Amino acid sequence: MSVTKQLLAVFRVDKEIRGLSSRLNAAERFLGEQTRQLADISTQVSSLQAQLRQLQASANNAEGESKRIEAHINELREKMNNAQTNKEYKALLSEVNNLKEQRSSFDDEALGHMEKIEQIKAKLSTLEESRVEREKLRKVAEAERQERADEIAAKLAELRARREELAAGVPKDAMAIYEELLAQRGEDAMAPLEIVDRKRHEFVCGSSMMSVPVEVAAQLMQGRLTLSPNDGCILYLTEQTEEILMATFKK
């Protein structure tokens, strides 16, 4: 068996493996996306919780200052009731009015913080609902991923064993070329030589669909490992094409 036919046998098994793995890969991508979104929600929650703690501390501070000023105002009012002179009364009244403005400022600050706190709590509630729904989706995705893995496990193991057996018979240098092309091009690593016009010896690469010289067909008939001059994939002959070329070259 030529090296090209050996590689074609490996290639066909690889295509089966890729086909089987595609559903599992899709399930893994779906699971990965749910996990990523859950992590994103957790990050948002952590950020909002940090903001909430800071706002609550600021609100508590503003409320504390307002209460401290209110206590001081009550003390001044007591003094006003006991003022001995009109001048003393007016001085105390002026100080009370100034303190009222300060307390009003702290009250407004505390109110602003409380409004933001309520907004953040609403966002956290929405995020919690999203987290619960996303966690349900993640569990479904996890179950689907396991189901896909279980479905193909036996067949995949069989194919991989078959691949190892086939690959062991391929010359190492040829296998290295194939492996590199498989990594780069996937299912386009190999392509058939296609006949456009047998009499005129016109052929194309089945991957690029571009013309290749007759010498390429001759090399393939000789069983030599042949790369497409157009895109570098490994060319091979189907049984039908090989029969046609055999009859053509005999003439």
Q: What is the pLDDT of residues 17-63, one digit of tens each?
A: 988 888 888 889 999 999 999 999 999 999 999 999 999 999 999 99
Residue 138 domain-assigned (yes or no): yes
Same domain, 181 and 76: no
* pLDDT tens per residue, range 206-218: 999 999 999 999 9
The two three-digit tokens of residue 97, written as one number: 């009015």
Last residue of a domain, one of 136, 168, 200: 168
Same domain, 223 and 159: no
Residue 129 domain-assigned (yes or no): yes
Is residue 182 scored above 90 in pLDDT?
yes
Residue 225's domain comprises 175-250
Is residue 159 scored above 70 in pLDDT?
yes
> Using 50, 70 and 90 to split pLDDT, how confident is the model at 250?
low
CA torsion 140-146-147-153 (nearest 10°) is: 170
Same domain, 103 and 208: no
Rounded to an integer, the average pLDDT of 166-184 is 95
| In 169-235, alpha helices (H) | 172-185, 214-221
Last residue of a domain, one of 168, 199, 225: 168
Contact 193, 206 (CB under 8 A): yes
128 or 1, greater pLDDT: 128
Q: Which CATH number does the domain housing residue 158 bear?
A: 1.10.287.1490
Last residue of a domain, one of 138, 168, 198: 168
Residue 4 domain-assigned (yes or no): no
* pLDDT tens per residue, range 89-142: 999 999 999 999 999 999 999 999 999 999 999 999 999 999 999 999 999 999
Residue 1 domain-assigned (yes or no): no
Same domain, 57 and 147: yes
Sign of CA dihedral 53, 59, 60, 61: positive
Same domain, 146 and 65: yes
Is residue 11 scored above 70 in pLDDT?
yes
Rounded to an integer, the average pLDDT of 183-197 is 93
Q: What are phi and psi of 224, to 5 degrees?
A: -85, 145
Same domain, 141 and 202: no
Q: How far apart are CA 20 and CA 22, in angstroms?
A: 6
Contact 226, 177 (CB under 8 A): no
Same domain, 149 and 218: no
Same domain, 89 and 70: yes
Contact 46, 149 (CB under 8 A): no
Residue 2 domain-assigned (yes or no): no
Cβ-Cβ contacts under 8 Å for 192 (sequence gap 6 or more): 206, 235, 236, 237, 238, 241
The two three-digit tokens of residue 251, written as one number: 């003439």
Residue 32 domain-assigned (yes or no): yes
Q: How far apart are CA 87 and CA 92, in angstroms?
A: 9
Q: How far apart are CA 211 and CA 202, in angstroms?
A: 7
Chain CA centroid to CA 247, Å: 53
Same domain, 193 and 127: no
Is the pTM for the entire model greater than 0.75? no
Instruction: Please list the residues that pair with 192 across neighbouring strands.
Output: 236
Same domain, 186 and 138: no
Residue 72 domain-assigned (yes or no): yes
Same domain, 90 and 207: no
Contact 92, 80 (CB under 8 A): yes
Same domain, 26 and 145: yes
Q: How many distinct structural domains can be found in the chain?
A: 2
Q: What is the predicted pLDDT for the residue at 151?
A: 84
The two three-digit tokens of residue 177, written as one number: 């070329």
Residue 3 domain-assigned (yes or no): no
Q: What is the predicted pLDDT for the residue at 251?
A: 55
> Which amino acid, 111?
L
